[in-house]
Structure 1
Amino acid sequence: MYLNQHEIQSLLNKTFDNFVDFVNTLQDIRFTASPYGKWSAGQQLDHLTKSIRPVSSALGFPKITLLYFGVNQRPSRSYDTLVSHYQQVLTAGAKATRAYQPGVIYPAQRPALIRSFMNQKNKLATKLLTWSENDLDRYRLPHPLLGKIPIREMLYYTAYHNQHHLTRLKDQELQGHTWQNQLQQLIF
């Protein structure tokens, strides 16, 4: 499906809000524990914020500076096509680059991390309003795994990326092991 600016904004709002709503349900130990070597909820929140910040910043740049990344020469892909391509890249073994990897997260950091994440959501919303439909397809941004992609696709990616990490967190919750058992495995 090809999403227009308003549909993109709605999708972004939904994925940001759903992620924060879920993270707010977690007890502190579940917010900070890294089960089986996976990122904790707090680390995933930090990773998402780090990955969104350059996008929200770039949307505020003068468009002439974005010409540095070239002009898109093809129509933007649909949301589903972009998601499928990203999933293929992940399946091939791609991982977050160093700049986007989270550090150690403590329970006391949760409010600040959530504020920072939601601040990026608000920046994206405000800056997206200044973009025309044509400009979303014309200008590109570099993505560390996907290469240079149109702004529209970068926004698709941002929404999907939030959902991808939320799904991973929920899957960790549904695994047959209790958090207490996982904590014991980490300690002993």
Structure 2
Amino acid sequence: MNKIEIKKELEKAVDSVITDLDNLSKEEFYLQKNGKWSAAQNMAHLTLGAKVFRKALRAPKLALIFKFGINLKAQRNTEWIEETYGTSEFPAVTGFEPRMHENSSLEFEKEQFLKVHAELIQLLDNWTEWQLNTLRLPQLILGKLSIREMCLFFIFHIKHHQKAIRKSIDKV
């Protein structure tokens, strides 16, 4: 998937989540079922992850190379990401647990989610196709990924949590 396709898929995934939240009541948004995260907690988790990735995309590229090295492997695809993520064991604490803001509301969480993801998508304009393949970042479950693979992970991750949101609001 090239950069333009990645940006479109990220936008589509973000828009789809927001659409699922339209006409949702406050009670539905914060309701936890069977010990699973609420829609609000899923949104906060996705926003937190995007903030961290956004920070990395803003970092000097040379600093990323020194800190995380370069990718010399062939690019892995979405199928690899889905399969590896689906069969991985997760640590009890990841640091990406939802952190609900004191001003949390459906509108606030949607606004934060949209803002952070829009900035992340825009930052991809500063990256060449070569840089997307060559520079890399650590991902807690999947190990070191190229920036392109990290983008594919974010598309997958948004869709993964969208399924959880739909279950929490009975849209499945």
Question: TM-score, normalized by length of structure 1?
Answer: 0.83
Aligned residue number for residue 133 of structure 1 = 129
Larger radius of gyration: 1
CA displacement, residues 119-176 of structure 1 (integer Å, 9 cap, x when unaligned):
111111211011111110100011111111110111111111110011122234157x
Q: In the superposition, relative to structure 1, how do residues 108 and 72 fare at CA in structure 2: closer, same or farther (>3 Å)?
A: closer
1:122 equivalent to 2:121? Answer no
**Aligned-pair distance for 1:114?**
1.2
Aligned residue number for residue 151 of structure 1 = 147
Aligned residue number for residue 66 of structure 1 = 64
Helix, strand or coil for the counterpart of 2:138? strand
Structure having the larger proportion of residues in helix: 1
Helix, strand or coil for the counterpart of 2:167? helix
Root-mean-square deviation (CA, aligned residues, Å) is: 1.9
Aligned residue number for residue 77 of structure 2 = 78
Q: Which runs of 4+ in 1 moved over 6 A?
A: none
Q: Percent identity?
A: 28
Aligned residue number for residue 165 of structure 2 = 169
8 Å contact from structure 2 (residues 81, 142) kept in 1: no
1:55 equivalent to 2:69? Answer no
**Aligned-pair distance for 1:64?**
0.3
What is the count of residue pairs matched by the alignment?
170
**Aligned-pair distance for 1:95?**
5.2
8 Å contact from structure 1 (residues 32, 107) kept in 2: no
Q: In the superposition, relative to structure 1, how do residues 71 and 108 fare at CA in structure 2: closer, same or farther (>3 Å)?
A: closer
**Aligned-pair distance for 1:35?**
0.8
Question: TM-score, normalized by length of structure 2?
Answer: 0.91
CA displacement, residues 90-114 of structure 1 (integer Å, 9 cap, x when unaligned):
xxx4157442111457895222211
Helix, strand or coil for the counterpart of 1:121? helix
* Unaligned runs of at least 5 residues, structure 2: none
Q: In the superposition, relative to structure 1, how do residues 128 and 104 fare at CA in structure 2: closer, same or farther (>3 Å)?
A: closer
Q: Aligned AA for 1:72?
A: N
